[in-house]
Amino acid sequence: MISQRFVLGGELPVRRLGYGTAQLTGPGYWGPRGDARAAVAVLRRAVERGVTLIDTADNYGPSVAEELVAEALRPYPGDLLIATKGGVVRTGDSTWHVSGRPETLRAMCEASLRRLRLDTIGLYQLHRLDPRVPMAEQLGVLDELRAEGKIRHVGLDTVTAEQLCAALKLTDIAAVQNRYNLLDRDSEPLLELCETRGIAFLPWFPLGNGSLTAGGVRTEIAAAHGATPGQIALAWLLHRSPVLCPTPGTGSLVHLEENLDAAAVRLTAEDMRALG
């Protein structure tokens, strides 16, 4: 039996299948996506279905996703973990600029606190390491924010196993977020390290940006389980490692229900071998 829960940072239990907010914004993660009421309905339904991990970022929109989270979910349930990110500046559709200067990261975190209407962000993730700024300076300001009670746990997004090892020599890291799914397993060394250290791994593009919702051996396995190929891809992540906490995103209530129902799919050892 697979565990449906993970204790993040050794103290915050979350349901492993969460919800990501990127798809609540427009193309290229820029601007709003349609009627805000639809986004609010999806967020509220996710929590009604038992989601306790909401993953967002200041640059989704920018600002749009964080504001929607606050509009939909405040007052926040006591068991809900809001994870957000900083360290990237947006100047247009599909345009990102890494910015890891300590004063910039502090300003971004404090802006996220205001938008989310939180006193403390449960998981604050450095969206990208800035190669122009020493890692110690980037993580140092996050440590300061944690000491001030503005951050509870620190995470990293898009890192190598070597970079995580270096970061762990500087501070505690509760989570990482890298691209990882059935078709993209370049982060296997990082996953192994996370398993060893008890660090949550939030795989982004868990459905391969839509490429895993149809076709392949997943279709045959899905038919045997009365499921969809996308549900099989999500179930594979839940079975693959107890530290994997996928947060698939969608702006559709129908797709939200489908994604969350993947937690009930029980893959056999033969299924896992077939999926590779």
- Sequence spans of domains, the chain: 11-205
Over residues 262-268, the mean pLDDT reads 98
Please, what is the angle between helix 102-116 and helix 64-73, to 10°?
A: 30
pLDDT band at residue 90 using 50, 70 and 90 as cut-offs: very high
Map residue 221 onto helix, strand or coil: helix
pLDDT of 213 over the 90 cut: no
The tens digit of pLDDT for each residue in 15-28 reads: 999 999 999 999 99
Choice among 60, 76, 124, 180 that is catalytic:
60
pLDDT band at residue 186 using 50, 70 and 90 as cut-offs: very high
For all residues of the chain together, what is the average pLDDT? Answer: 97
The tens digit of pLDDT for each residue in 76-86 reads: 999 999 999 99
pLDDT at 178: 98
The pTM of the whole model exceeds 0.85: yes
pLDDT of 1 over the 80 cut: no
Backbone angles phi, psi at 86, to 5 degrees: -145, 165
The class level of CATH for 11-205 reads: alpha beta
Identify whether 124 is a catalytic site residue.
Answer: no
Q: How far apart are CA 30 and CA 166, in angstroms?
A: 33
**Structure tokens belonging to residue 131:** 């190669």
